[in-house]
Amino acid sequence: MSLGSKLAWDDTVLPFQLDHADIRGRVARLDGVLSNVLKQHDYPTVVEALVAEMALLTALIGQTVKLRWKLSLQVQSDGPVRMIATDYYGPTKEGEPARIRAYASFDPDRLTDAAPFEQLGKGYFAIMIDQGQNMTPYQGLTPLAGASLAECAEAYFAQSEQLPTRFQLSFGQSVEPGVGEHWRAGGVMLQHMPKASPFAKGDEASGADGLLHARDLVDGEDGENWNRVNILLDSVEELELIGPQVTPATLLTRLFHEEQPRVYDLQPVTFGCTCSEDRVRQSLSIYSAKDIEKMTTDAGRVTADCQFCGAHYDLDPKTVGLEAAKANGNA
């Protein structure tokens, strides 16, 4: 296998459908995206693992939504890792990559030697969709539950969307010949088509903490199809998910050949941040001159740092704020 062929499916999401079982899905492989996300910060390994898992979930979920603008995933908790936030920006033009960015906020003094998910305490997992101007933003959330962020996402779809959903993920630090140690991630997302039972009741919930589980939403033939495909997915090996030897299409054939998977076009993804000086100025335009004065450093500047990409903005306080915006005709 050549390096070129490997790169052809790194940092991509492959949509597919299992027509017989009425199930759709995605296969994602992230490599350079994770490297670019994580190199912006000096995270401890347990935090890097959580960010890697969240970025992989974002790639899989984002590709399933027809976006005009962006999809965001967010975790808030009272544990050592207080927040994880990711954004997925859909392609603006045919053939362009989708863009992903991510960051985490944590208390280094409270981190432990426990598993990454145990660095989260009580809190919630949220999905937000912003489809741009003149469109109502959507937000749904579910309590943190289970033993992974993937299980939280499954609970979200069962509870908030009543859509049976399954994630099988693999991620970790990889060493390849000629390449330094870096993070790689791969995963499969399965989701029953929306006709699945929309009438599950709370007292039927079998998931963690009394939340609905995918199995609570399907029965009869749909339930049999869902169980069969999930058993097939259970047979996947971590190295098959994370690559780099097995292409996404080959992986689908290995797992679901009897289901006759139908694949669609690969969607490339890349690291991308939307911050800019103009956006910083816009965010400061609501503040009065007195507020801007309080933000001004001893050096006589107003500064801002992007939490996602680490970009640093250094501005003259006379050029920002409400009064400056009005003077420039922008307010």
Residue 204 gets the label, from left (phi > 0), alpha (psi -120 to 50) or beta, of alpha
Q: What pLDDT does 45 receive?
A: 95
Residue 96: DSSP 8-state: P
What's the CA gap between 77 and 146, in Å, rounded? 14
- What was the pLDDT predicted at 53? 97
What pLDDT score was predicted for residue 63?
A: 81
| Strand 267-271 with 98-106, pairing | parallel
User: What local confidence, expressed as pLDDT, does residue 1 receive?
Assistant: 35
Under 8 Å CB-to-CB from 172, ≥6 apart: which residues? 49, 52, 183, 184, 185, 242
pTM confidence score? 0.86
Mean pLDDT per block of 10 residues along the chain (331 residues) reads: 55 92 93 90 94 96 76 95 94 86 96 96 92 76 93 92 93 76 92 64 57 76 91 94 86 92 92 84 84 86 82 84 69 52
pLDDT confidence of residue 8: 67
Quickly count: other Cβ atoms within 10 Å of residue 322's Cβ.
17
Q: What is the 3-state secondary structure (H, E, C) of 230-288?
A: HHHHHCCCHHHHHCCCCCHHHHHHHHHHHHCCEECCCEEEEECCCCCHHHHHHHHCCCC
Strand partners, 184: 172
